[in-house]
Amino acid sequence: MGRKTQKDVTVGFVALGCPKNVVDSERMLAQIAQAGFLIAADPDRADVVVVNTCGFIEPARAESLEAIRQALANKKTGHVHKVVVAGCMSQHLGREILEEAAGVDAILGLEQRDAIAEVIRETLTSDAPVVHLSPPPVTVADDRTRLRIGPAHSAYLRISEGCDHRCSFCTIPLIRGPFRSKPVELVLSEARELASSGAVELNVIGQDTTRYGRDVKTEEGLASLLGQLERIPEVAWIRLLYAYPAGVTERLIETIGRSEKIVHYLDLPLQHVSDAILRAMRRPDTKDRLQKRIEKLRSAMSDIVLRTTLIVGFPGETDEDFAELIDFVKWARFEALGAFPFYPEAGTPAAEFPDQVPDEVKQERLDELMLTQQDIAFAANRRRVGSRLTCLVDSLDNRGQGLARFYGQAPDIDSLCIVSGCSAAPGQFIAAEVTGSHDYDLLVEQV
């Protein structure tokens, strides 16, 4: 890099993974900018590239490794000089990354995310790999200082760190440690700051948002927190993600149902419905309890949109277990559904379970499940034709076509509303009529 001073060093950033990781990326970007480095628009041509990885399941690690190897390829051509790896995969694999991707200049764990600027400075003067790792738990973060990488009008609000559940397939407790709630005043302070910077939509996230407050002996902590968030004047939409099914209480349902700001949308990861598989997964629910909870939600809010996540091919899953899952999905008619095949993650009990399902069977079941859900989602879209929706505009092109979302569409993970004749700017709400659909997306016209 010749004689460049720190203020001339460009840093490219590759942000991967879930919304929790997005928040970590935004925090690190703020640290980098405050330290005086220049943020590069193109990470393929930056002096230093930081890859904030995801390490939850095998495909996420593969994507992370691909991004790292791309940065290393650019390093070989001289377009990049240093490659720094951060995030969940760093925390989980540690020094193994140096073997998987030779040439990495620094690895830092989740606990070191606020030291990113110091790590970058260290790499600039070191010929040997710089490694900063510590075991979990990861400190509950103060997320107020962030350089946002998404639209200004929509933001993620993280309310906790870690997870107390010991699902037999999940690595999150190994990576981030036990569940800890962020103090209420800190959450509210961050929410006010996000609102003052233009966020009209707050998407509440955590490993299990329904557990909020329980670690500090506060019953119904989430419902109480949502009530306080509602009082922030600039916020119009509050969306609840990662709601553990067993934690959805009567009071929480009532709080969402009577609110004018908490949208009638709930992300409810079920993982499965067969009692035998739920026991093997170490989930506290039963099919009967899940069914009753969905009935309560639909009864309390006839317009509620439910999203879920499911795993197929869990060890021991029989044809009968899978058929039970398909029948439940047909009954529940989730408006949105994500699914993935079981991956035997090292360090989890399920990786060692007997009766592992062959990969080809997992894929067949995944295909059948997603085709079943496709029919449900497309039918739901057809029923909306002719209805009117309030939509939040996310983007607008120079031809007047906008991309927007109604309350039943979470950012980044759900479908969109494609708006023709849009005259509103991003961040504004519009009234729109549904005229049709294209695959999972709705076609709407501004009225």
262-316 pLDDT, tens digit each: 999 999 999 999 999 999 999 999 999 999 999 999 999 999 999 999 999 999 9
Q: What are phi and psi of 122, to 5 degrees?
A: -65, -40
Q: CATH homologous superfamily for 6-132?
A: Methylthiotransferase, N-terminal domain (3.40.50.12160)
Q: Pairing relation of β-strands 130-132 and 336-341?
A: unpaired
CA distance 266 to 2: 53
Q: How confident is the model over 67-97, as pLDDT tens digits?
A: 999 999 999 999 999 999 999 999 999 999 9
Sequence-ordered list of residues with C-beta below 8 angstroms from that of 141, at least 6 positions apart, any chain: 23, 24, 27, 113, 158, 161, 182
CATH number for domain 388-446, candidates 3.20.20.140, 3.30.70.3340, 2.40.50.140, 3.30.360.10: 2.40.50.140
Its pTM stands at 0.94
pLDDT of residue 4: 60
Token couple for 107? 């690895």
Q: What angle do CA 141, 143, 147 make, to 5 degrees?
A: 135
Q: Does residue 7 have a pLDDT over 70?
A: no
Calculate mean pLDDT across residues 177-183. 96
pLDDT band of residue 344 (cuts 50, 70, 90) is: very high
Q: Does residue 214 have a pLDDT over 70?
A: yes
CATH 3.40.50.12160 residue ranges in the chain? 6-132
Exposure pattern of 272-289 as b/e (b: 16+ CB <10 Å)? bbbbbbbebbebebebee
pLDDT of residue 399: 85
CATH number for domain 154-383, candidates 3.40.190.150, 3.40.50.1820, 3.80.30.20, 3.90.25.10: 3.80.30.20
Exposure pattern of 417-427 as b/e (b: 16+ CB <10 Å)? bbbeebebebb
Q: What angle do CA 41, 45, 46 make, to 5 degrees?
A: 75
Q: How confident is the model over 329-343, as pLDDT tens digits?
A: 999 999 999 999 999
Sequence-ordered list of residues with C-beta below 8 angstroms from that of 382, at least 6 positions apart, any chain: 437
CA distance 419 to 442: 9
CATH 3.80.30.20 residue ranges in the chain? 154-383
pLDDT band of residue 5 (cuts 50, 70, 90) is: low
Q: How confident is the model over 405-420, as pLDDT tens digits?
A: 999 999 999 999 999 9
Calculate the average pLDDT of the chain: 95
pLDDT of residue 400: 80
Q: Does residue 3 have a pLDDT over 90?
A: no
Exposed, middle or buried, 395 (CB in 10 Å: 0-12/13-18/19+)?
Answer: middle
Q: Report the percentage of the chain scoring pLDDT > 90.
A: 95
pLDDT of residue 128: 94
CATH 2.40.50.140 residue ranges in the chain? 388-446
